[in-house]
Structure 1
Amino acid sequence: MIGMTQQVRRAPLTRDRVLRAAVTLADATGIDALSMRKLAQTLGVVPMALYKHVANKEELLDGMLDVLVGEIDPPAAAGDWRTAVRQRILSARQVLLHHPWASRVIESRTVPTPVVLAYMDSMIGMFRTGGLSVDLTHHVMHAMGSRILGFSQELFGAPPSAPPPDAEIARQMAGRYPYITEITTRVAHDEASVVGSGCDDQFEFEFSLDLLLDGIEGLRLRGWTPR
């Protein structure tokens, strides 16, 4: 037949497709490089087409976090509360390790989305059905903080790369700050650690998590109540 043309059938643009493309783009280029224009180019659409599915970049970021929360394992069907909570939090950590930009976005949010609220409600439910009182669970959620979503907010961020100090400066530092020097000059475990080369991020995360869970179980067994 003469004059016939074939049109390439493109997958329809949906909110889910937009959000997943944004996650993939952030994984590849970093969250700072993510823009509505670049996302539109990736999807092969004009930028205005995106605004039918997300009102602005803030809503886009919220939706991207919703996608990540959906990747976290659901609560274990059986087992004690401590093991179940530990497994789920470590699942959340694996998700964030696959998406290194996510913790920064989480810290920037001021209002949780319904998806994040549902996740938090589910975590609270794991503590409550595990035998923790309402008061103890309230304080536990404060103590857990960002660990509930798989990351720890460190006291200070990672320092910029710099050459080691010369011997005289190192001696002066040791004299002024002996205990800091003591713990920062241990054998390095993880050069990529967010808290310095002397720390193994995964070990430190699990150590803190286990410390909290053991302490929480002790309080539960003692029938802890607020003063």
Structure 2
Amino acid sequence: MSQAEPARRPAGRPRGALLSRERILEAAFALSDERGGDFTLAALARTLGVRPQALHHYFATREELIAGMRGRLTLRIGEHGFDRRPWHEAILAWARAYRDTLGRHPGLIAALATLPVAGEPESMADYERIAAAFRRDGYPDHLVVPALVAVESFVIGSALDAATPPDNLRPTDPPRAPHLAAVEAAAREHAEREGRSVTETTFEFGLTALVAGLRRAEEG
């Protein structure tokens, strides 16, 4: 009896699509983690083993791809109860989740931070929830955007700070900067007592202080 021949793929297009929006986004995140956010669609196509033209069916431009990646990150951040909690409580949880999510993809932060949000549905829905919570709680309309941008700018900076060495401010020559050396050591000792990193304690201090300041600005 002759050995069975290997099954041949039927002629025509494969049954399963070789590409999908999900697969492209996953590959884009992996590529940005490896090379940073300045990768090209051509580089992404190479990692997927397809021609660049194949990506255009899903993302016409690199900007559309980055917008899709931001939308995916927005979904990972979550809603955090802006529809039922006071804005100053919900925004604390939102900021923490935002920082943690960005921190997993530091190479992408600059590209995300400089791309307009208009037309990207997940981000627009997220900002709409936040704006609605501010207005519902009586925050002055003309201060809502400045307040949101202030928190978001702090979160983005904190996500970048999380990628730096924990002793980034420790002077290499303490006698030349004795005050800085003293406060830097105090910050590390305080963080150790709390069982957290300096980056975590710094973020929590800054976030609490910022939101408290935004609440006082509401009263003024």
Give yes or no for the alignment of 1:15 onto 2:26. Answer: no
Q: Which residue does 2:85 correspond to in 1?
A: 79
- The answer to whether the 8 Å contact 2:37/2:108 transfers is no
Cα distance, 1:101–1:32 mapped onto 2, change above 3 Å: closer
Matched, 1:95 2:98: no
Check whether the contact 1:82–1:213 (CA below 8 A) recurs between aligned residues.
yes
Q: Cα–Cα, structure 1 residues 180 and 11, in superposed 2: closer, same or farther, change >3 Å?
A: same
* Paired residue type of 2:141: V
1:210 is the counterpart of 2:208: yes
SS in 2 for 1:93: helix
Gaps of 5+ in 1: 190-198
Given the alignment of the two structures, is residue 64 of structure 1 paired with residue 69 of structure 2, yes or no? yes
1:114–1:201: structure 2 CA closer, same or farther, 3 Å change rule? farther
Distance in 1 between the 2:64 and 2:149 partners?
26
Q: Residue in 2 aligned with 1:122?
A: 129
Question: Are the counterparts in 2 of residues 20 and 67 from structure 1 also a CA contact under 8 Å?
Answer: no
| Residue 26 (1) aligns with residue 24 (2) | no
CA contact (8 A) 1:54 1:60 kept: yes
Listed as ranges, the matches of 1:1-227 within 5 Å are: 5-6=8-9, 9-27=15-33, 29-31=34-36, 34-76=39-81, 77-109=83-115, 111-115=116-120, 116-147=123-154, 150-152=155-157, 165=172, 170-171=174-175, 173-174=176-177, 179-186=179-186, 188=188, 200-220=198-218, 222=219, 224=220
C-alpha contact (below 8 Å) 1:19/1:63 kept by paired residues: yes
How far apart, in 2, do the equivalents of 1:65 and 1:72 lie?
A: 10
Q: Whose helix fraction is larger, Structure 1's or Structure 2's? A: 2
Shift of 1:102: 2.9
Cα displacement (A) at 1:67: 1.6
CA RMSD of aligned residues (A): 3.7
Contact kept in structure 1, 2:66 and 2:112, CA below 8 Å: no
The alpha-carbon distance between structure 1 residues 12 and 210, as it changes in their structure 2 partners (threshold 3 A), is same
Deviation at 1:43, TM superposition (A): 2.6
Going from structure 1 to structure 2, the CA distance change for 1:142 and 1:48 (only over 3 Å counts) comes to closer
Which secondary structure state, in structure 2, belongs to the residue aligned with residue 114 of structure 1? coil
Q: Hey, what's the Cα distance between the residues in 2 that align with 1:32 and 1:138?
A: 26
Contact preservation (8 Å) 2:79, 2:126: no
C-alpha distance in 1, partners of 2:109/2:38?
Answer: 16
- Name the aligned partner's letter for residue 146 of structure 1: S
- One-letter amino acid of the structure 2 residue matched with residue 131 of structure 1: G
Amino acid at match of 1:124: A
Deviations 1:146-184 (A, max 9, x none): 24xx42269x9959x9xx74xxx543x32xxx5444434
Asked whether the 8 Å contact 2:86–2:133 carries over to 1, the reply is no
CA distance in 2, matches of 1:104, 1:135: 27
Q: TM-score w.r.t. structure 1 length?
A: 0.69
Q: Which runs of 5+ in 2 are unaligned?
A: 190-196
Are the counterparts in 2 of residues 36 and 57 from structure 1 also a CA contact under 8 Å? yes
- For normalisation by structure 2, the TM-score amounts to 0.71
